[in-house]
Amino acid sequence: MKLNQILKKKIIIKELFSIQDVVRWIASCFSMADLWYGHGADNPWDEAINLVLPLLGLPPYIWNIVYKSKLSIKERKIIFELVIKRIKKKIPVVYLTNKTWFCGHELYIDDRVLIPRSPISELINNKFKSVISSYKNPKFILDLCTGSGCIAIACAYLFPNAHIDAVDISLDAINVVEYNIQLHGLENRITPICSNLFDKLPKYTYDLIISNPPYVNKKDINFLPKEYLYEPKIGFISKNNGIEIIEKIISMSPFFLRKKGILICEVGDKMIKIIEKYPDIYFQWLNIKNGGVGIFKIENK
């Protein structure tokens, strides 16, 4: 069967009724389409679920019996239009639903911010086991390059006594962070700050600095699948072959960390470049089981 034989509005309106019918149909369409999965799901089935459930206002995991419930014609029409956008325009699902979950916490997302997918989520889900000693629960945390605020919000839940500064250079991103902070009622715990890295930060020191900064070389953007081109370039690109912002974070962090404070930073495929550039720094490279690479920890002397 070919994609154009099943990608028809009359099929979803007249022949499909339940959530499970529609999810199966979308998964078939996605399998036949030329799509890139890199924003949460890694297969057509999960991508279909990620499109349908948020749209219906349902959580990411539902009982099997709910899959049998019927969709209204209006719901099926809306889903059809989004499937068309996903397939024809290659718009990532999260930008179509404006919703995702990071470490189990719901977030509002639009194309002013990168879609959260950092493997730092695994460290947070594991409560930073073997990364931060349990007796050293951080009280002051800095989330540098916060984007949607996903890491700041997940840290606020993990460390209920901590205060978190969430910094981004993009005012657009800060507006999204503010929205997500309100969504979680965390206004007293997280302070959004629009700043070029440390430039506008208050003069106190943090127990933990955590960052997923941009680290893509400008030229490499052209080789990314179309899906990534919907995301703000400022979230990807860093000068000096992708490492300029990482360099600034490494050089400035000691001034903003208390003694024995910790810097955790994602550098992805720039790991080797960073090791070569700083032979005298002891980087602890953290184990990530779900496939991510290149997250280091440095303890401040």
Ligand X SMILES: C[S@@+](CC[C@H](N)C(=O)[O-])C[C@H]1O[C@@H](n2cnc3c(N)ncnc32)[C@H](O)[C@@H]1O
Least Å distance, CB 195 to ligand X, is 6
The residue written with tokens 């000691």 in the block is: 254
Between CA 90 and CA 113 the distance in angstroms is 17
Nearer to ligand X among residue 92 and residue 213 (C-beta): 213
From 199, 194, 197, select the one nearest 214 (Cα to Cα): 197
Q: Where are the alpha helices (DSSP H) in the chain?
A: 3-6, 9-14, 19-32, 44-55, 73-84, 93-97, 120-125, 150-158, 171-183, 244-256, 271-277
Least Å distance, CB 52 to ligand X, is 23
From 301, 268, 257, 299, select the one nearest 142 (Cα to Cα): 257
Nearer to ligand X among residue 114 and residue 209 (C-beta): 114
Least Å distance, CB 239 to ligand X, is 10
Least Å distance, CB 235 to ligand X, is 4
Between CA 119 and CA 97 the distance in angstroms is 22
Nearer to ligand X among residue 76 and residue 189 (C-beta): 189
Nearer to ligand X among residue 44 and residue 119 (C-beta): 119
Nearest residue to ligand X, by Cβ distance, number only: 147
**Which residues contribute to the site for ligand X (CB under 6 A)?**
113-114, 116, 118, 145-148, 150-151, 167-170, 173, 196-197, 212-214, 234-235, 245
Q: Does residue 18 sit in helix, strand or coil?
A: strand
Least Å distance, CB 228 to ligand X, is 11
Nearer to ligand X among residue 103 and residue 113 (C-beta): 113
